[in-house]
Amino acid sequence: MNKRFSVGYGLVTGVILGVLLSVSVGVFADRNDGASETLPVEDLRRFTDVYMRIKRNYVTEVEDHDLLDNAIKGMLSGLDPHSAYLDEQEFRDLQVGTSGEFGGLGIEVGMEDGFIKVIAPIDDTPASRAGIRAGDLIIRLDDTAVKGMSLSDAVNKMRGKRGTDITLTIMREGVEGPQRITITRDIIQVQSVRSEQLEPGFGYVRVTNFQSRTARDLVRAVEDLKEDVPLQGLVLDLRNNPGGVLNGAVGVSDAFLDSGLIVYTEGRLQESQFRYTASPGDVADGVPMVVLVNEGSASASEIVAGALQDHKRAVVMGTPTFGKGSVQTILPLAQETAIKLTTARYFTPDGRSIQAEGIQPDIRIEPVSVTRTEDNGPSLNEASLERHLEGSIDNGAFGNGAESDDTDETDEEPLAQRDFGLYEALNLLKGLAIMGARP
């Protein structure tokens, strides 16, 4: 190193170190928890050393702005899979996404071992129609390897103009070798709540993700179900629900609870600690409920399942949930950027941590495929025997040997084949309704 560069290097290093120290002092001075912090002067000096070596020795010239942006991204990505730096575009996308309309594939993702892991595809989106499943590991985006790519960069690459294609190379548990799936991008307009009558008196409400308006839409859906016939049971389907807005989850839980704690958070700072309690009123009027969950149920959906389970308001059925029980706070920065920082953990009313544990179902149902067996002809029973005795004297002494016709004349796919988990939930609700009706 020549003398002139050495002088310049020391000057720049001193300036950068001085700025970092002044910022650090300002940050620590703002702390109100009484904690004593020692400034890592040697580590900050090491940072400036690396910074200047890149500036001098990298194969091409690098802008200061890019280096510092990458340093910030590295600091956050090294903390946990959910903390991240949001540039201007990502910050705007986040704000639009929580409103219910955004562009892309319709897929909720996270990081796992350097790869992109699918938390859940959103219903009726390009990703779900293409067959993407919760738990899939994305290893390539088109011809670009995902390993070493940040989550935000991967999400940006998956986004694009409506009508354009992207090929995802995925690894799926139980399937040998990688699979290539081509998906056409589209504008994602998520209707977070849909409902239907499974059978007279037994309602079904599906929540695909939690938005600011989800609780209001759910209450309206349940009220509509109650208009036709009185409810005897209700299924709340949270399978493959990746989460969303916390207030949406609290509102949905509150809709079915008369009182008590819904969820609470614990963090280092006082402002990270919250307790949410239910207000009087149950939109379902206390009828039996089943909550369906699976490994794609994450974050806000785990809050709802945990709250209804702890209060014995619903039976949780399915497979263990994803286990994303941390709170991310959006902290806006200058120039319309922000950081998404993990600041607390969620706990259910009974004090169970959701983080890395998930919600364990009361009744476990493994995902299975049900097929109808071939019809072997009419079954043999007492009523099919010639000259059988009738069950009621008023109907005559003997039957005419006629066989009952139990053939289903509809072409609709049976519920057990279409959705075995929902079929089992409906059967459980029927049993609970029968037991509740008996004196």
Confidence (pLDDT) at 12: 55
Same domain, 248 and 146: no
In Å, how far from its chain's centre is CA 346?
A: 14
- Rounded Cα gap, residues 316 and 291, in angstroms: 5
Confidence (pLDDT) at 287: 96
Q: Catalytic residue at 324? A: yes
What's 181's domain CATH number? 2.30.42.10
Of 248, 250, 246, 273, which is closest to residue 260 (Cα–Cα)?
250
- Rounded Cα gap, residues 417 and 426, in angstroms: 14
pTM of this structure: 0.74
- Structural domain including 14 reads 3-62
Same domain, 22 and 118: no
CA trace torsion 240, 246, 248, 253 (10° rounding)? 80
Answer whether residue 433 is part of any domain.
no
Q: Which of 333, 364, 395 is the last residue of a domain?
A: 364
Catalytic residue among 87, 217, 310, 419: 310
- Rounded Cα gap, residues 422 and 201, in angstroms: 15
Q: Which of 189, 222, 238 is the last residue of a domain?
A: 189
Number of domains in the chain: 3
Q: Catalytic residue at 153? A: no
Answer whether residue 330 is part of any domain.
yes
Of 123, 109, 138, 117, which is closest to residue 419 (Cα–Cα)?
123
Answer whether residue 270 is part of any domain.
yes
Q: Catalytic residue at 66? A: no
Same domain, 128 and 179: yes
Same domain, 153 and 296: no
Cβ proximity of 135 and 107 under 8 Å: no
Angle (nearest 5°) at CA 126 between 124 and 127: 95
Confidence (pLDDT) at 409: 47
Same domain, 145 and 211: no
Answer whether residue 379 is part of any domain.
no
Place of tokens 């097929």: 371
Catalytic residue among 73, 117, 324, 340: 324
- Rounded Cα gap, residues 211 and 248, in angstroms: 6
- Rounded Cα gap, residues 427 and 283, in angstroms: 22
Q: How many CA atoms lie within 13 A of 259 on its CB side?
A: 0
Q: Which of 189, 219, 235 is the last residue of a domain?
A: 189
Average confidence (pLDDT) per 10 residues, the chain, 439 residues? 46 57 49 62 92 95 93 92 88 66 78 84 89 92 89 84 92 92 87 92 94 94 93 96 92 98 95 95 96 95 98 97 92 90 96 95 88 72 80 54 45 83 96 76
Q: Which residues pair with 206 in a beta bridge?
A: 194, 237
Confidence (pLDDT) at 304: 98
Confidence (pLDDT) at 7: 44
Confidence (pLDDT) at 398: 43
Answer whether residue 90 is part of any domain.
no
Cβ proximity of 107 and 127 under 8 Å: yes
Answer whether residue 394 is part of any domain.
no
- Rounded Cα gap, residues 360 and 7, in angstroms: 62
What's 235's domain CATH number? 3.90.226.10
Same domain, 110 and 213: no
Same domain, 185 and 205: no
Answer whether residue 151 is part of any domain.
yes
Same domain, 291 and 359: yes
Same domain, 50 and 155: no
Cβ proximity of 146 and 128 under 8 Å: no
Burial zone of 32 (CB within 10 Å; 0-12 exposed, 13-18 middle, 19+ buried): exposed
Same domain, 183 and 256: no
